[in-house]
Amino acid sequence: MIEFKQIRDESTLYEISQMAAAYFKREDQSTKVAESLEFEAIKRSLAYEESVVFGALDNQKCIGFIWAKFDNKDNEVKVYNLFVSESYRNNKIAAKLKKKLETWAIDKGASSIVSTVHAQNKSMLHINESMGYETEKYIMRKHLF
């Protein structure tokens, strides 16, 4: 059975940074550098911002997470990162992580949650829309080389 809980321990946070680095690292970065950068970013965020990490754990192994911060100035929660391991996708894990975050955001007094989704990520777009998220803007990019 998958357990959803707030993550604070460094070993699970490092496991999360490994997952994020494997998926989000730039091509010119080594995996170790990407993992270290992600781990430090998460630790700093938890130490110096009003942020949270929720994990989805299957037998104590992290298989998904959501990392976000509460922005007092805008009175909203901003999602930094959401990831679910490929073999666990299509099991409503992302939606359950987002629900945990919604509860946390309400407890903080946030008026909204902001989440960025790649245009090609149709399943995440569908999850967000089914949970009441609305598209506010499109970000377009032109590669020059």
The tens digit of pLDDT for each residue in 80-130 reads: 999 999 999 999 999 999 999 999 999 999 999 999 998 888 999 999 999
Q: Which fold has domain 2-130?
A: Aminopeptidase (3.40.630)
Beta strands in 41-89, from DSSP E residues, in sequence order: 51-58, 61-71, 76-84
Q: Where are the domains of the chain?
A: 2-130
pLDDT at 60: 92
Which of 9-18, 47-56, 99-108, 134-143 has the weakest average pLDDT? Answer: 134-143
Residue 84 φ/ψ region, left for φ over 0, alpha for ψ in the -120 to 50 degree band, beta for the rest:
beta
